[in-house]
């Protein structure tokens, strides 16, 4: 594959990788789209993709597993009203394209419609939120092994109670090219890296675990010794906190959420309910509520795919539309939904650049990018000092949400009791139980310390996984139900 050169645009590189080696040019792409428009369809697109992935993992001081894969192919989609036909092939060729295009005509009536395919293609975009690195080539194999060994050494040196360290390194290089029936031709070169660290500590027969990590749209040189030390320290700290934890109490109480990763609760309990497909079908607790108050005053939530180098950011979405910063909730008022092209058209709303798909073998759907709540004006120390008795949730593990009613259950992986305005002892087994729209109205104080997560988020929807980001400032929530173990 031709290496990236600073003067070679993403579109030129995508052509070199995905079209030229297979004898394809723009004329043949327009011809393929044209075969779909011999029937009545509203829209069609081609999604070409080349992806390299690798993963390395260390356990018991040894790099025990390593994986590497290359995948490429093309997805062909036609849309007619609310109906979508989709076919894909892991072979990129003119014949495969025409076969897939023929398969998509099954959703439409015979006879040409009023909408015609564009006669030529025009380049879209030009944004550059991240450098088009190939992360996999930024370190050799020996250096990748040494990186993981360095993480383990740092973690073990932090405390003699550390008995096990597991570390992982993952990288992805993704080249995508989108060709649309309206004449748009767009491409993106997407790097993605991540380091993860899990530590197990033991004391007096009790074992506990802590995890940390981070990454973004960089190459492996992003992981400096300083950053790896921070990951190791955070993982050890989390494990030691759990080692000293007591059973969490249960019942309604004031809950303070820490900044950053606790925004995962916002993502799950509220963000999914603001995706266009759920709202078009009337399946969300937020359906039909634009212009209404859905949260306390001061609560402003955005989805922003334009943050440089962030895990959830994209130069363009998977339909070739530029990503953007979309205000979903403004000062407590619902302002809009996250939209792809089809749902936006059917709902007569603007496209927000949120069409995402796991790969060429999957259909796009409206998905979040980086979803976060904006900062308020309160000092975090003031928020904690205001709580007579409550829970301070600093980090979260897994959770579940029901989109139709907004009900959620989330487990806190690091939490403390607040007594007389002071953070006292750590607790384990705390679970937050509530309703997304309802909990937004229980926000009584918003910190001035908005923080994004370190770059570890993965979002699942209808069997597809995509990288995302979350964030929020310190928040005080009143009257939240906490499930505990005490």
What's 161's domain CATH number? 3.30.2290.10
Q: Confirm if 330 and 300 have CB atoms less than 8 A apart.
A: yes
- Listed in order, strand segments (DSSP E) in 81-142 are 83-89, 122-123
Looking at the structure, do residues 277 and 228 belong to the same domain, yes or no?
A: no
List the pLDDT tens digit at each of the 486 positions of the chain. Answer: 333 343 348 999 999 999 999 999 999 999 999 988 887 888 999 999 999 999 999 999 999 999 999 999 999 999 988 999 999 999 999 999 999 999 887 776 665 566 777 777 777 766 899 999 899 999 999 999 999 999 999 999 999 999 999 999 999 999 999 999 999 999 999 999 999 999 999 999 999 999 999 999 999 999 999 999 999 999 999 999 999 999 999 999 999 999 999 998 889 888 999 999 999 999 998 999 999 999 999 999 999 999 999 999 999 999 999 999 999 999 999 999 999 999 999 999 999 999 999 999 999 999 999 999 999 999 999 999 999 999 999 999 877 778 778 788 889 999 999 999 999 999 999 999 988 888 899 999 999 999 999 999 999 999 999 999 999 999 999 999 999 776
Nearest-angstrom CA–CA distance, 451 and 229: 20
Look at residue 436 in the predicted model and tell me its pLDDT.
85
**Would 307 be classed as within a structural domain?**
yes
Looking at the structure, do residues 299 and 204 belong to the same domain, yes or no?
A: no
- Looking at the structure of the chain, the number of domains it has is 2
Looking at the structure, do residues 283 and 414 belong to the same domain, yes or no?
A: yes
Where a domain ends, among 224, 244, 264? 244
Nearest to 199 by CA among 240, 247, 150: 240
Residues in the chain: 486
Structural domain for 116, as ranges? 6-244
Q: Which residues pair with 452 in a beta bridge?
A: 471
Widest pairwise Cα distance in the chain: 77
**Would 107 be classed as within a structural domain?**
yes
**Would 426 be classed as within a structural domain?**
yes
Query: Residue 168 to residues 67, 69, 71, 214, 301: CA-CA distances in angstroms?
Result: 11, 17, 22, 11, 32
Looking at the structure, do residues 41 and 107 belong to the same domain, yes or no?
A: yes
How far is Cα of residue 480 from the mean position of the Cα atoms in its chain? 26
Where a domain ends, among 211, 229, 244? 244
Looking at the structure, do residues 155 and 103 belong to the same domain, yes or no?
A: yes
Helix (H) or strand (E) holding 27: helix 26-36
Looking at the structure, do residues 296 and 201 belong to the same domain, yes or no?
A: no
Looking at the structure, do residues 198 and 117 belong to the same domain, yes or no?
A: yes
**Would 1 be classed as within a structural domain?**
no
Looking at the structure, do residues 61 and 73 belong to the same domain, yes or no?
A: yes
Looking at the structure, do residues 235 and 271 belong to the same domain, yes or no?
A: no
Per-residue b/e over 226-242, b at no fewer than 16 CB within 10 Å? eebbbbbbbbbbbbbbb
Nearest-angstrom CA–CA distance, 72 and 93: 12
CB atoms within 10 A of CB 350: 12
Looking at the structure, do residues 197 and 253 belong to the same domain, yes or no?
A: no
Encoding tokens for residue 299?
């609560």
Nearest-angstrom CA–CA distance, 472 and 453: 9
Looking at the structure, do residues 114 and 167 belong to the same domain, yes or no?
A: yes
Looking at the structure, do residues 201 and 255 belong to the same domain, yes or no?
A: no
Q: Which residue has the tokens 């209808």?
A: 462
Contacts of residue 334, Cβ cutoff 8 Å, sequence gap at least 6: 274, 286, 289, 290, 291, 292, 293, 294, 328
Where a domain ends, among 197, 228, 244? 244
């Amino acid at each position: 594959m031709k290496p990236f050169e600073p003067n070679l645009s993403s579109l030129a590189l995508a052509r070199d990788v995905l079209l030229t080696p297979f004898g394809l040019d723009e004329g043949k792409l327009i011809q393929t789209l044209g075969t779909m428009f011999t029937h009545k369809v509203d829209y069609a697109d081609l999604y070409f993709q080349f992806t390299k992935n690798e993963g390395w993992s260390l356990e018991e001081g040894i790099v025990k597993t390593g994986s590497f894969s290359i995948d490429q192919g093309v997805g062909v989609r036609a849309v007619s009203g609310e109906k979508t036909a989709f076919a894909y092939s892991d072979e990129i060729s003119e014949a495969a394209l025409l076969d897939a295009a023929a398969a998509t005509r099954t959703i439409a009536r015979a006879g040409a419609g009023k909408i015609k395919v564009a006669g030529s293609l025009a380049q879209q975009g030009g944004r550059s939120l991240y450098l088009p690195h190939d992360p996999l080539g930024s370190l050799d194999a020996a250096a990748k092994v040494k990186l993981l060994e360095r993480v383990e050494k740092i973690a073990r040196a932090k405390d003699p109670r550390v008995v096990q360290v597991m570390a992982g390194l993952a990288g992805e290089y993704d080249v995508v090219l989108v060709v649309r029936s309206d004449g748009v031709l767009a491409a993106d070169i997407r790097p993605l890296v991540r380091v993860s660290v899990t530590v197990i500590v033991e004391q007096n027969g009790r074992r506990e675990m802590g995890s940390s990590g981070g990454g973004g749209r960089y190459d492996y040189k992003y992981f400096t010794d300083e950053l790896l030390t921070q990951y190791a320290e955070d993982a050890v700290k989390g494990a030691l906190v759990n080692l000293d934890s007591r059973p969490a109490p249960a019942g309604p109480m004031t809950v303070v959420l820490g900044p950053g990763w606790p925004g995962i609760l916002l993502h799950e309990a509220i963000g999914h309910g603001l995706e266009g497909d759920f709202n078009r079908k009337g399946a969300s607790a937020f359906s039909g509520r634009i212009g209404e108050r859905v949260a306390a005053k001061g609560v402003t939530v955005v989805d922003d795919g334009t943050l440089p180098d962030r895990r959830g950011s994209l130069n363009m979405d998977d339909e070739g539309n530029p990503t953007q910063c979309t205000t979903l909730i403004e000062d407590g008022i619902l302002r809009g939904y996250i939209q792809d092209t089809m749902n936006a058209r059917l709902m007569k709303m603007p496209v927000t650049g949120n069409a995402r798909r796991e790969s060429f073998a999957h259909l796009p759907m409206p998905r979040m990018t980086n979803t976060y709540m904006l900062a308020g004006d309160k000092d975090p120390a003031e928020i904690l000092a205001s709580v007579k008795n409550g829970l301070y949730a600093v980090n979260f593990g897994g959770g579940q949400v029901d989109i139709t009613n907004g009900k959620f259950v989330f487990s806190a992986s690091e939490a403390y009791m607040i007594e007389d305005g002071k953070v006292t002892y750590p607790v384990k087994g705390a679970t937050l139980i509530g309703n997304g729209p309802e909990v937004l109205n229980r926000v009584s104080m918003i910190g001035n310390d908005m923080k994004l997560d370190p770059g570890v988020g993965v979002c699942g929807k209808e069997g597809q996984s995509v990288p995302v980001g979350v964030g929020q400032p310190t928040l005080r929530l009143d009257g939240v139900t906490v499930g505990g173990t005490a």
